[in-house]
Amino acid sequence: MLLPIAAPPPVPVPHGPAAPLAVNVLDATSLLSSFGALGIAVILFAETGLLVGFFLPGDSLLFTAGLLCASGTSGTVHLTLWQVLLSSVAGALLGAQTGYVLGRHGGPALLARTKSARLHEGAARATELLDRYGHAKAVVLARFVPVVRTVLNPLAGALGVPAHTFAVWQVAGGTVWSAGLVLGGYALGSSVPHVDTYLLPIVAVIVVVSLVPLAREVLRGRRARTGEDM
């Protein structure tokens, strides 16, 4: 007679925090939910100070962070406004100054090491900005143009833009850009209840708008080259 075999006791499952999901560095919400306000400083430092950070979502990150500070949002991620502002401004300013110092000492070798067509195109636009608007205005305007704000800082150092001029105007431009986008997101989140439910289309609009200056510069450059060839 066969005796029934008792089933093994269930293995206890430890109750702990769930394993973290993979972070999407191109998604502002993913970055903010994973790293919070401190992550903003790191991302902006990489985007504005290191050539490898040209693909990072600076504009959408800042606006989304400000939106998630508002009390009217319903998402699981909530940030503190003063922490976001402090991290944003610190990352933007320290990153730009670091990029300038690297360019001052490394020169054109910084750009020569990369084969990214997008980076080289951004460098060409940055050079045009410096030539057309002068050092002060170009440093400020570059903050609002993706990719250009990454390459202009080391390029300014390599081309010998005076250190005092660069420091003064990168602080002015960086503060307006970073704090302005954060406060813009916070104002929208405070005035429209549950606006974070429309986060994806809002971020898409921000990305498109942020690319408009770059597209205009590219078209202007092509028209100028076409005129020279005629």
Nearest CA to 194 among 63, 67, 66, 72?
72
Query: Which ranges constitute the DSSP H helices of 50-160?
Result: 58-67, 81-106, 109-112, 117-133, 135-142, 148-158
Give the model's pLDDT for residue 24.
Answer: 57
Q: What is the pLDDT of residues 16-35, one digit of tens each?
A: 444 344 555 556 666 677 67
What is the average per-residue pLDDT within 147-152? 86
Measured between alpha carbons, how far is 136 from 43 in angstroms, rounded to an integer?
25
What is the average per-residue pLDDT within 131-139? 88
Instruction: Say whether pLDDT at 98 is over 90.
Output: yes
What is the average per-residue pLDDT within 195-200? 62
The CA distances from residue 134 to 6, 81, 137, 160, in Å, are 83, 34, 6, 13
Range with the largest mean pLDDT of 14-18, 51-55, 56-60, 162-166? 162-166
pTM of the model: 0.72
Measured between alpha carbons, how far is 189 from 72 in angstroms, rounded to an integer?
6
